[in-house]
Structure formats: structure tokens, C-alpha cells
Structure 1
Amino acid sequence: MRVSSKRSVEREAPPTPEPLTPLFDAHTHLDACGAHDATSVRAVMDRAAAAGVQAAVTVADDLASAHWVTRAADADERVYAAVALHPTRAGTLTETARAEIEALAAHPRVVAIGETGLDLYWPGRLEGCADPHTQRDAFAWHIDLAKRTGKPLMIHNRDADTEVLDVLRAEGAPETVIFHCFSSGPEMAHTCVDAGWILSLSGTVSFKNARDLREAAPRIPREQLLVETDAPFLTPHPYRGAPNEPYCLPYTVRALAELLGVSATELAQVTSSNARRVYRLS
């Protein structure tokens, strides 16, 4: 999750890792990584390509970002987009905003509705953050939009396992559900896996103190697994706190491969294939 479009860190960017390919960054924020036009979008993706990352989904969190991500997807064939209003911004989901999001969702390079969901961490901590009831209503609307468009639903879930599941059950989950930056424990992973949902892991899986997540990760079937950066945040170990970018994805994949006891090359191939299947690109 991001709370502003500015980098919250000042540390030096990580070095380019040894290339690992093919990789697909299932969730990133290119605008928050500093991209602002077609040239800078291509520059970010060129850096990613040098590390083996062949494609990325850049994700909106407000209305301006939703317009921007569709332009970014048009600017570079390696970029796809997802559109929605972030749960913390659910209070801005006016009728006008709904109409604009719905129109953008029809864009051929928009491959998911997201990120939407529930965030129970920020209310009371972040000024202007939508309250849980407003978030729930917005989440339900995005669920319906995913169903109507036939596109995957991309969920942001922070401190809200029970509540997110309650909404999905009450509204009826779309055909494809992606839990972006899955950070919960084994019980939640088991519930999601049994439902056939997709779990996308970020750099947090490399954090040694993320015990519940690291216990949950081996329980995710390979065919239900994606990898992402959520850049510019959640930079993997040993560069935690430095600015993240899609080119850093190999660090996460190698850490996950070590945790799972599998080849990083195999994991790269599986997750890339999964992303293209889930986003209906092949």
C-alpha cells in the first residue's frame, strides 16, 4: 500500500541483481517509482528487462492514478494496468469516479480491477482515510465491477482477514481473485487456496521476522502463486528500506526459492506462466 506518490525512503537504490528470467511483476506502482511519461516508463521497464523482468502490472490507487496507469500501459508493450480506488481512498468513490473507473476498466490493457479491499490499519492513523463501512461499500462495488468486466479482482488486505472473507462470501467472489502482497499466516493461506484464489508474494517473504508469512508460503500450490514488487515499497532483504523497482524482483524470487527449496529458475518460469494465465495474456 502507498499513502503518497513520493518515495518514503532516501537510501541508495539496490544494485541490479543477477538476471533471472522469465519474470513477471504482478503488482507495482510505476508512477510512485518516479515514472511520469512514456520515456520514463520505458526507462523503468528497460532496467527491469536487464534483470530478467519481462512484464509488469502497474496498479492504480486513486482516480488520477487510474488514468495514468492506462496511459503507461499504452506507452510500453511490457506494461499492463489495474484500476480501482485503494480502500483508504474509498471515500472518493463518487458516482462520477465510479463512471470513470468503469470506463477505464474496459481498456484492453487493463487486466485487473484493483487494488481494492479492506485496510483496518490506517483508519485513525491516517488523516482522511476512509472508515471501515465506507471501505466495505467500495469493496463490494469493485467486486461487482470485476464480475461485470470478467477481469480478476486484485485485493489489498491489511489487518482484515476475517472482514475481507466476510465481504467476499456476502457478495460472491468473482471467478479470479488475487490477494496482492499476501502477508497473512497459514490459516488464511489455507482458506484462500481452498477457494482457488491466487496469492501474490512480495519482498516481505524475504523478511526473517515475517514468521507467519514464511510459514504460509510453502503451503501455496505452485499454480496459485504470483510474485510482485509492490514498488517502490517492500524492497526485499538485504535492501529493506531502500527504494524498490521492478528490476529488484529477482531478489524476492531467489529468497522465496530458498525458502521453498526449489530452483529460482523454475520458480521464475512457473510464476511468469501463472501471471500470463491469470491476467489472460496467453
Structure 2
Amino acid sequence: MLVDSHCHLDRLDLSAHGGSLDAALAAARQRGVGHFLCIGVSADNATAVKALAERYADVDCSIGVHPLDLEPGAEPALDWLLGELDDPRVVAIGETGLDYHYEPEAAALQQASFRLHLQAAAVCGKPVIVHTRAARADTLALLREAALPQAGVLHCFTEDWEMASSALDLGFYISLSGIVTFRNAEALREVARRVPADRLLVETDSPYLAPIPHRGKPNLPEYVREVAEFLAELRGVHFDALAEQTTENFRRLFPLARVGG
């Protein structure tokens, strides 16, 4: 069984499945995907992701505000985060983090929000899902500052081995998406070869970043199969072993998730 450890089910392009989320999830299940983590990115979609976790037994969700969804003067409040995280359907906090690639001018706002999410994670004990782009030093500095007792994950990892190693030293997991299949991603493939087997997750980040051979099309949770197959070949292990290992890793990282056998 595979787990899509990071997908945006409320944002999928469902045209390939007749506009039906039921059909899209059924297609993923037919390809061995047995669980989905639907990710919160803003206060606006918190209700939507919780509703999906309520609707489907094999869907859990997270709550958080993405660094690119922040608006000055409308930062998430700690009380709001803790209230949302108290919901049993919510198994993680995030995605949160830093993205200086698109909004370097918002660094201070992003850092304040990231600190707030990390503070909430320390209070509630739920794992944190971290988005980081073009912000290696500050991301690691804030994670060290937080010194969370529980593990978290750097999702859709695109950085170098030095950052991966530093995150692993902090107890974090590394999640790889379809980017690892891209032609120009050899540096990322080197990271993928070196991540310890017990710290590796797979994801689609759908509807974004479809893996080869689907690149250029809307991404779907069923395509986590392509990510896992590629990684199994890259790491020289049997597909079934990688699927079992990454699913066990997901269970360990997200102990509140309702992952079946």
C-alpha cells in the first residue's frame, strides 16, 4: 500500500475523472494508494479539508497557512490554530514555512507566521509540515530555535543534501514528489539515494508537479505510484519494499492518521 502524504484534494483538476473526486480517489485506490493526507493552506480552506477528512475514511487532513497565502495584518492567530488543531480529523499542522523565491520581500511576515505554527506544534504535539524554497538558512534556524520534541517533514523537498542532512539531524523526515523524476533534477536524485529508508515519504503535491510521464498535465493522487516506482528503481529496492517502508514511515510520523493495513 502507498500513502500520498501531501495532496490538495480540494484543488484537484478532476476533468480526467468526469469532475468526480470519488472517481479520482477510486482510481488512486486501484493503483494501490490506500491513504491520503489533504493539506491545509489557509484559513479559507480549513473547512474544506476537514470536510473531506470527514467524508472519506482514508483521508486525513492538516491545518495551516502557507507562506504564500499570508496577508499583512491578517496573520493566523495562535488561538485559531490551536482550536483547529484540536479537531480529531486534523493530524498535522501546516503547510507552513518560508518561500523567498516568490516573495522575498515578505520574509519577516513569513518568519513570524512560521514561528507561530511551530509554537502551536509545540503545544499540541502534532507534526509540522514544512514548505521551504530559497530559504535554507532561515528555515533550519527557526526549526532549531523551536526544538520540537516531535518529528516533522520537509515536504516536496528540492534542496541539497546538506540541508537534507541538517533536517534529518533535527529528527525531520524528507518527502519527495514528482520533481525527482524531472530531467534536470539530478542533484535531487542524489539526495533521494541518500535519505535513510526510515525517513522517506512520497507525495504528489497534486494538483501541482505531475511526475514524468504525466508532466505538463494536472497532477492526481494516483500518480504517487509513479513517484514511488521511480524511487524504488533509483534506490535499487523492490517497489513493494519501498511502498511498505514509506507507509510505515507515514504511520510513525502521523500517529493520529487512520491508516489501514
How does the TM-score come out when normalised to structure 1?
0.85
In 2, Cα distance between the equivalents of 1:247 and 1:96? 32
Alignment deviations for residues 195-237 of structure 1 (CA, whole Å, 9 cap, x no partner): 2211011001111211221111111111101000000011111
In 1, Cα distance between the equivalents of 2:200 and 2:130? 14
1:100 corresponding residue in structure 2: 80
1:68 corresponding residue in structure 2: 48
How far apart are 1:194 and its partner, in Å?
2.1
The aligned runs of 1:38-49 (5 Å cut-off) are: 40-49=20-29
Amino acid at match of 2:54: D
Q: Bigger shift: 140-149 or 41-50?
A: 41-50
**Partner-residue secondary structure (3-state), 2:150:** coil
In 1, Cα distance between the equivalents of 2:150 and 2:73? 24
Counterpart selection for 2:226 from 251, 268, 282: 251
In 2, Cα distance between the equivalents of 1:158 and 1:149? 26
* Matched residues, number: 253
In 1, Cα distance between the equivalents of 2:156 and 2:30? 24
Q: Does 1:112 align with 2:92?
A: yes
The aligned runs of 1:49-198 (5 Å cut-off) are: 49-91=29-71, 94=74, 98-123=78-103, 131-198=106-173
Distance 1:75 1:261, change over 3 A: same
In 2, Cα distance between the equivalents of 1:93 and 1:107? 26
Distance 1:178 1:96, change over 3 A: closer
Amino acid at match of 1:108: P
**Superposition RMSD on alpha carbons, in Å?**
1.9
1:224 corresponding residue in structure 2: 199
Q: Does 1:200 align with 2:179?
A: no
- Identity across aligned pairs (percent)? 37
**Partner-residue secondary structure (3-state), 1:243:** coil
Distance 1:61 1:220, change over 3 A: same
In 1, Cα distance between the equivalents of 2:23 and 2:45? 19
In 2, Cα distance between the equivalents of 1:256 and 1:238? 14
- Contact 1:70 1:104 survives alignment (8 Å): no
In 2, Cα distance between the equivalents of 1:190 and 1:183? 13
**Partner-residue secondary structure (3-state), 1:214:** helix
Distance 1:174 1:247, change over 3 A: same
In 2, Cα distance between the equivalents of 1:93 and 1:79? 32
Alignment deviations for residues 144-184 of structure 1 (CA, whole Å, 9 cap, x no partner): 11111110000000111111011112232341111010111
Q: Which runs of 5+ in 1 are unaligned?
A: 1-21, 125-129
Distance 1:96 1:134, change over 3 A: closer
Distance 1:96 1:123, change over 3 A: closer
How does the TM-score come out when normalised to structure 2?
0.91
Q: Which runs of 5+ in 2 are unaligned?
A: none
How far apart are 1:273 and its partner, in Å?
1.3
In 2, Cα distance between the equivalents of 1:201 and 1:93? 33
In 2, Cα distance between the equivalents of 1:78 and 1:227? 16
Q: Which runs of 4+ in 1 moved over 6 A?
A: none
Distance 1:118 1:149, change over 3 A: same
